[in-house]
Amino acid sequence: MNEVVPANRPVPLGRPPSPEQVTAWLDYELEPLIARRAELVAAIEATVKKYAAGIVNDDQQGIAAENLRMANAAVRAAADAHELHKRPYLEAGRAVDRWKNGYSVPLADPIERLTRLMLAYSDRREAESRAAAQAEADRLAAEAAAQAKAAEREAPSEGMFGPASEAAYEKTLAAVRAQDAADARPAEHTRVRGVAGAVASVRVAWGWETENFAKVHRRFLMVNPDAIAAEVRAKGRDAKTGRPLAVIAGIKWVAKRAMGVR
C-alpha cells in the first residue's frame, strides 16, 4: 500500500554529518590551506633557529616580519574559511533554537499562573504541617521532661539504668526526632504525589541581592571593564602616544607592547 504524503509536508532533512565527517571534509576541501601551513611552520622554525641568538639588524627584522605577515595572512584565510563553512550549520542551529524557544512561548504564561496557584497551596500546607509537627514535638518534649523528673525521684532506688531512666531517655529521643521533623525543609512538608506519579514539593534555592552597597567589602567587588572602556571612549586618547586621557581613581594606565606586522 502506497504511503499517503500530506500536501504540506516539507522536504525531509538529511542526516547531519558526524564531527568526524565534517573534519574529514574540511581537511579535503581546505587541503591547500593545510599545505600552506606546513610551509609556513617550516619557514618560521628555520628563521627562529637562524636568529636564535637575537635579531641584530633591520634586514633580519624585515625577513622576520615577512614570515610573520604570511603566517598572519594564513590564519586570516583559515578564519574566513571557517566562517564560510560554518555559516550553514550555524544558521541551521539557530533555526532549531528558534523552534525550541517558540514552542515554549505559549506555555510560559499558563505555567507561571499554575505555579503561583501551587505555591500558594504549598505555603498553606507547609504552615499547617509545621504547626502540627511542632505541636507534637512540644507534647513529646513535655512528656520527656515529666519522665525525667520521675526518673530523678526514682533514681536512688533504681540507679542510672533503671526503668524510669530508660523511659526518660526514650521520651527525650522521641521529642528530638519530632522536633527535627517540625524543622525539616519545606519539601518534607509540601510533598504531594499525583495519581500518575508526578511529585510536587517546594524547593528553596538561596541567592543574594545587594542590601547596602556601601557596606559590601571590597574583596567581593570587581572592576567593570566595560565601564572603563566607555570612559576611555568618552574622554579620548593622547594624539601622540594613544594613552587614555580619562582619570579613574585607583586605576593606572599600562602600555602593553606587542609586535604588529602589516
Boundaries of domain holding 102: 19-110
CA distance 140 to 152: 18
Based on the domain organization, do 45 and 87 belong to the same domain?
yes
DSSP structure class, residue 52: T
SS3 2: coil
Based on the domain organization, do 56 and 31 belong to the same domain?
yes
Residue 232 lies in a domain: no
How many C-beta atoms lie closer than 10 Å to residue 122's C-beta? 20
Q: Point out the domain boundary residue: 138, 170, 191.
A: 191
Among residues of the chain, what percentage have pLDDT more than 70? Answer: 95
Q: Are 201 and 187 in contact (CB under 8 A)?
A: yes
Based on the domain organization, do 105 and 153 belong to the same domain?
no
Q: Point out the domain boundary residue: 75, 110, 145.
A: 110
Residue 74 CB partners (closer than 8 Å, separation 6+) = 33, 36, 37, 40
Reported as a single tens digit per residue, the pLDDT across 88-117 is 999 999 999 999 999 999 999 999 999 999
Residue 138 has pLDDT above 80, yes or no: yes
Based on the domain organization, do 76 and 140 belong to the same domain?
no
